[in-house]
Chains A and B, each alone.
Chain A
Amino acid sequence: MSRQQINRLATALITGVAILVVVPIVLVILFVIYNGIGTISWEFISAPPTNGMREGGIWPALLGTIFLTFGTAIISFPLAIGAAIYLSEYAADNRMTRMVRLAIVNLAGIPSIVYGLFGLGAFVLFMQFGTSILAGSLTLGILTLPVVISTAEEAIASVPQQFRTVSLSLGATRWQTIRHQVLPHALPGILTGIILGLGRAAGETAPILFTVAAFYLPDLPHSIFDQTMALPYHLYVISTQVPGMPLSIQYGTALVLLLIVLSLTLSATFVRTSMRRRREW
């Protein structure tokens, strides 16, 4: 083969591989939509499950997932931003900082079921929050910390250094500089990280297994100390634990969960691009 032929072959191969990456995600989405779309109705969304979950809708599980996602955001947001600001603006390059970074990297590598067990031990039992939205949100919040911290830190670091220097030279204090020059410009990146983290949290099953998720609880939660159903766990239950479960409900549930996660991811992309377009430098 000539060099040109090899070149063409390489281009074709690499393009082919790149396309292959897209195929699974498209197939999964299409497959779930195809099987689940017929089930989606207002009643499916807004009604509780009935007849041992073999009929009815998913409202308590959907609402539970929404509560848990908000709870996760409330826990994760301040912790992650605080840590990211510390790491990028305050931390000196010393052993302590390296330990914090190492901890974050390792936190990202912990299997989610271990988070679930940790949540059970720490929040449900030791802190006596019981199996509750609070315990589940805390567990999911910790789970999302690594990704949110890393993206937030990256976003903060990408704010040009000169803005900080100029701000300080005009007599602003360090905190005023962070508050008025760094955080506003890092915000799109930070939001992106948080939304991506929430997307992950919304779809997780293992961390909520022992900390919040109820097998079957048609009543809606009244406080953060109540248990709740949640979509991922509900999907697991109706797919494996309930004999005679109609497939249509399983796929309908899967579709709703998929749509929630996808819409979070897409809105992260949207936030990032739209705010980046408004950026002036």
Chain B
Amino acid sequence: MIQSKISIQHLYYTYEDGIEALRDISLEIPANEIFVLFGPARSGKSTLLRLLNRLSDLDEGTARQGTILVDGQDVFDRSVNVSNLRRRISMVFAMPTPLPGSIYDNLTYGLKMAGIRERGELDRRVEQSLKQSALWDEVKDRLGASAFALSGGQKQRLCIARSLALEPDVVVLDNPTSGLDPISTATVEESLFDLKERYTIIMVPHSVQQAARVADQAAFLLDGELVEVGEAGKLFVQPTDQRTEDYITGRFG
């Protein structure tokens, strides 16, 4: 059996107000594929994403059980350097979230925080990440311009590039096309296909349709529980669980 990139084992997660966001989630996420987590609102998708790189540390009063292994290493182990973990498992948020400053500043922020200062290396990463996110041709002549001057779709691709500039192993995208028009959405989806050559991609999609378009593997979450997981080609055509079928065919959600 091929070793999984990420292995989630019996994960439980409870928020301060007692809401059980995740119940007994176990998932094997393979490398170099697009793994899609889908389900209705409040099913625990975003919670699960935030646990992968321990952004969940920001939530106070939560309780967790179970483990997440990345390349066999428990991310919750005390010896884990959280900053390094977040550089390896890089996150793109639902709303495009440029930081104040130029396009170049945004792309190099994470690198500079990691202590990379050499101009040539920074320039190389900027160009490479912008090309990977299909934004290079649009912004190469104005890298010094404010990131806020970009359009919504460009901002989101900038945020993807900003994650890629860290040269992570895993790119986690939480509904990255939520605020985008159909053309920008298509551009982002296309860049994802190119990216999986180099990265493991975990994504919460905007819709079931998007999930079916981009996924290699998919997992259906409902009320914090894993209902079904499998090859996208099968899961979206012949789901084994009735709830999955009801959700995919639009009977609820």
Contact = CB atoms under 8 A, between A and B. Distances in A.
Interface residues of B, number: 24
Interface in B99-145: 99-100, 109-110, 113-114
Contacts of B87: 170-171
Nearest to A278: B100
B55 interface: yes
A181 B91 CA distance: 18
Contacts of B97: 162-163, 165-166
B86 to A, nearest CB: 5
A162 B95 contact: yes
Contacts of A279: 100
Contact of A171 (B58, B60, B113): B113
Interface string B38-72: 00000000000000010100101000000000000
A184 B53 CA distance: 26
B113 A280 contact: no
Interface string A171-195: 1110010001100110000000000
A277 to B, nearest CB: 14
A248 interface: no
B146 interface: yes
Contacts of B148: 280-281
Nearest to A279: B100
A18 B247 CA distance: 60
B93 A167 contact: no
Contacts of B53: 169
A185 B55 contact: no
B93 A165 contact: yes
A168 B86 contact: yes
B83 interface: yes
Given A92-B60, A281-B148, A169 B90 contact: yes
A165 B55 contact: yes
A7 B166 CA distance: 62
A170 B100 contact: no
Given A169-B53, A280-B146, 8 more contacts: A168-B86, A170-B113, A171-B166, A181-B99, A185-B100, A279-B100, A280-B100, A281-B100
Interface of A: 92, 162-163, 165-173, 176, 180-181, 184-185, 279-281
Kindly list the 8 A-B residue pairs having the minimum CB-CB distance in the complex, ordered from nearest: A170-B110, A171-B87, A172-B113, A280-B148, A169-B91, A171-B83, A171-B86, A166-B97
8 contacts: A163-B99, A169-B86, A170-B90, A171-B83, A171-B113, A173-B113, A176-B113, A180-B109
